[in-house]
Chain A
Amino acid sequence: DIQMTQSPASLSASLGETVTIECLASEDIYSNLAWYQQKPGKSPQLLIYYANSLNDGVPSRFSGSGSGTQYSLKINSLQSEDVSIYFCQQNYDSPYTFGAGTKLELK
């Protein structure tokens, strides 16, 4: 199985700050990576797919980048509604696998 190592596990940032979350795949996943946002008690919401494509309705302050085994999610100008847990997920190979998650809090 492809292992997805996500970092950091938790992150505290101030409103308006820029934050970056990283995801490292155990092998090349050729940009077959998505980022999800999950709020407590809710289902995951697709933010980014194919590493850098923004899903419909997702604010443009979210962006994704990366290739090969290294990927990142950047949130510019952090807003209070961005407080959440973020997961990366690969669908290059079955079984689809997720990172452990990054809990983003406000400082």
Chain B
Amino acid sequence: QVKLQQSGAELVKPGASVKLSCKTSGYTFSTSYMSWFKQIPGQSIEWIGMIYAGDGGTGYNQKFKGKATLTVDTSSSTAYMDLSSLTTEDSAVYFCARLDTMGPKANWFAYWGQGTLVTVSS
């Protein structure tokens, strides 16, 4: 079955960068789309961007351009998100989610990772 396993919680200092991972299994990663989302605890969810694993093509929410960089490693079926120049406003839970591309749920996010908590603190 489809699984998205995210990396563990991170405690990082302001100004630093962090790379989150989302290791997938149970489907053909190389022809899939993966999105990333940000959720500050107790608040709503924001879409950061999406990457197509086939060619690494990306699309970003303008709000996160320059903050987030999405990449993939098809050999390990893993998606990554780099967050740079971190501030306390980047403290949040970050989720990866696969975009369904076939069937009735095409264009929806039916499979999500468990989330990674990033805490930015000195």
Using CB atoms and an 8 Å cutoff, list the residues of chain A in contact with chain B: 32, 34, 42-46, 49-50, 53, 55, 87, 89, 91, 94-101
Q: Judge whether B110 and A43 touch: CB under 8 Å.
A: no
Q: Which residue of A lies closest to B105 (CB)?
A: A49
| Binary per-residue interface labels of chain B (6-44) against chain A in the complex, 1 for a CB within 8 Å, 0 otherwise | 000000000000000000000000000001000000011
Q: Judge whether B62 and A46 touch: CB under 8 Å.
A: no
Also in contact, A100 and B105, with CB within 8 A (given A43-B115, A94-B59): no
> Does B121 belong to the interface (CB within 8 Å)?
no
- Indicate which residue in B45, B97, B104, B114 contacts A98 across the interface (CB closer than 8 Å): B45
Also in contact, A55 and B105, with CB within 8 A (given A43-B112, A95-B63): yes
- Which 6 A-B pairs give the minimum distances between C-beta atoms? A43-B112, A95-B61, A96-B47, A49-B108, A98-B45, A46-B110
Smallest CB separation, A31 vs chain B (Å): 12
- Cα-based distance from A91 to B112 in the complex (angstroms): 16
A-B contact count (CB 8 A): 54
- Cα-based distance from A67 to B45 in the complex (angstroms): 23
Instruction: Please give 19 more A-B residue pairs, beta carbons under 8 A apart, in addition to A50-B108, A97-B47.
Output: A43-B95, A43-B112, A43-B115, A44-B45, A44-B95, A44-B109, A46-B105, A46-B109, A49-B104, A49-B108, A50-B104, A53-B104, A87-B45, A89-B45, A91-B107, A95-B47, A96-B35, A98-B44, A98-B45
- Cα-based distance from A69 to B110 in the complex (angstroms): 23
Q: Which residue of A lies closest to B64 (CB)?
A: A95
Q: Judge whether A44 and B112 touch: CB under 8 Å.
A: yes
Q: Which residue of A lies closest to B117 (CB)?
A: A41
Q: Which residue among B44, B59, B63, B95 has the maximum number of chain A CB atoms within 10 Å of its CB?
A: B44
Q: Which residue among B45, B47, B107, B112 has the maximum number of chain A CB atoms within 10 Å of its CB?
A: B45
Smallest CB separation, B103 vs chain A (Å): 10
> Does B46 belong to the interface (CB within 8 Å)?
yes
